[in-house]
Structure 1
């Protein structure tokens, strides 16, 4: 297993909860051999801890679960593990959106002072990405619907980093929905607040 393969596995890893899970053992062994991967995993865990902390402060919209399930129906023979993942993603999406809006309203001037970066990568529907690790062309239609409906949109760069994409206006979702699961380049201010990595989008370059 190489570093990129380990990262793909560890995106779903939960510290302490999954330590004994055999599905993660090979990836965790790679972490012990690779200092850079170990640092990446520490950043991921810090981010997840911050998200969990913020979610305790957020109450999701009453219609959010219905909207997500309508876009991605659950088969009659239910896999309860997958349903729990979907429920977690619903809460996470509400939390990310609410926190991003709160940070923009409260600290807009500080966000604008972030470091400018250019990031190239795949446009993600963060809800399904967090719940199922779904991405790529096979998920494009569902991702497009979720992004159009206002759920969080992100970008996964070529080095495996994932950023929440935000903007001063609501047009970010509208502009990116048709490019779900496709490669774009965005330019904007990179900021990190309470563990959330985000790009305040100023320009979208579509290819």
Structure 2
């Protein structure tokens, strides 16, 4: 196992809940011997806890559960319904992260002929934005941690269009953008589209 393999496994790690799960044991042991990976894991777990807290803080409308049961009876206990909902949310988040990370590995194609544009908007943590529609000042700390840890970063333009941000081949822009999480900046870069994603290869970051 190497750092990359361990990180892919630990992207699904949910803290002490998974400590006894055999599939995480090897990755956790590896993280103990790799200080950088260990630090990443601590920040990743903190980000997960923040998301979980936000999800738990969402209050459904009064009487919603009764309306759902009356209109469509659930053939299993409510406690399992909650478990499955949480599991689905976790799977969606992990899937979005993995897919974006896989795509980001393939995005370093030539953009020599791409159009150079300026985009002003909010810097996004793409994983949380796509999976949970989280953005804005309330999500700033979690977004900052996720971006600093290498998760995909994007920008939401004032017209609502979202771009996945990348650097020159072999160069990540995450470190430069992490402190701008949830803030409005202007990005100068070259626009392209890959597999349906709008991408902006960053050339300059202008703080407003």
- CA drift of 1:119 comes to 0.3
Q: How far does the alpha carbon of each residue in 1:84-105 deviate from its partner, in whole angstroms, 9 at most, with x for none? A: 233212212221222122131x
Q: Contact (CA 8 Å) 1:187, 1:203: kept in 2 or not?
A: yes
Residue matched to 2:102:
98
State the match for 1:143 in structure 2: 143
CA distance in structure 2 between the aligned counterparts of 1:171 and 1:100, rounded to whole angstroms: 10
Q: Match of 1:202?
A: 203
Distance apart, 1:162 and its partner CA: 0.6
2:48 paired residue number: 72
* CA RMSD, Structure 1 to Structure 2 (Å): 2.2
What TM-score do you get using the length of structure 1 for normalisation? 0.63
Asked if structure 2 preserves the Cα contact closer than 8 Å seen for 1:86 and 1:131, the reply is no
State the SS of the aligned residue for 1:204.
Answer: strand
- In the alignment, structure 1 residue 63 sits paired with structure 2 residue 14: no
1:114 corresponds to which residue? 114
Q: Does residue 1:178 correspond to 2:179, yes or no?
A: yes
Is the contact made by 2:96 and 2:131 (CA closer than 8 Å) also made in structure 1? no
Distance 1:112 1:100, change over 3 A: farther
Aligned residues: 144
- Matched residue of 1:112: which SS? coil
Question: 2: distance between equivalents of 1:86 and 1:170?
Answer: 29
Give the 3-state SS of the residue equivalent to 1:121 in structure 2: strand
- Runs of at least 5 residues in structure 1 that lack an aligned partner in the other structure: 1-59
